[in-house]
Amino acid sequence: MVQQKTIYLPHFRRGFHLITPIIEKELGDLPATGLVHLFLQHTSAALSLNENADPDVRNDLENFINKLIPENHPGYTHTLEGPEDMPAHIKSSVIGAELTLPISNYRINLGTWQGIYLCEFRNRGGIRKMIATILS
């Protein structure tokens, strides 16, 4: 069986944000086994699976990605939407806009230290829309 649900994520400031509790709440009852595919419908944000215990990890990821893909690079030609827009598109392409996760025992089966992140790359990204597809 296939189910699909739209999840609206609240506005988050720029950075890496743990959204596992939001996803779990929005998904509600899950099947005993299956897969959940999460697809973020945006080109200036991303989804990532990473450390969920120490918030310093999220700060370190933000600092690293900003050094790797800086604002105001002289090679950017797409500059009409602000200095962080083109870097946001590059960061989204590098990290990706989707995750596929196993469902076991009626829950998303994450590792002990794993959490789902919204990676917000815009200063004012606004509400983000995600499509969750559950396969059982």
* Residues 20, 3: Cα–Cα separation, whole Å: 19
125: left (phi over 0), alpha (psi -120 to 50) or beta: alpha
CATH of the domain at 19: 2.60.120.460
For the chain, 136 residues long, the average pLDDT of each consecutive 10-residue run is 97 97 97 98 98 94 97 92 94 98 98 97 95 98
As for how many domains the chain has, the answer is: 1
pTM: 0.95
Amino acid at 71: E
Q: What is the pLDDT of residue 51?
A: 95
* Other residues' Cβ atoms within 10 Å of the Cβ of residue 6: 10
Print the domain residue range for 48.
2-135
Determine the pLDDT at residue 72. Answer: 93
pLDDT of 89 reads 97
Question: What is the per-residue pLDDT for 79?
Answer: 86
CB atoms within 10 A of CB 74: 4
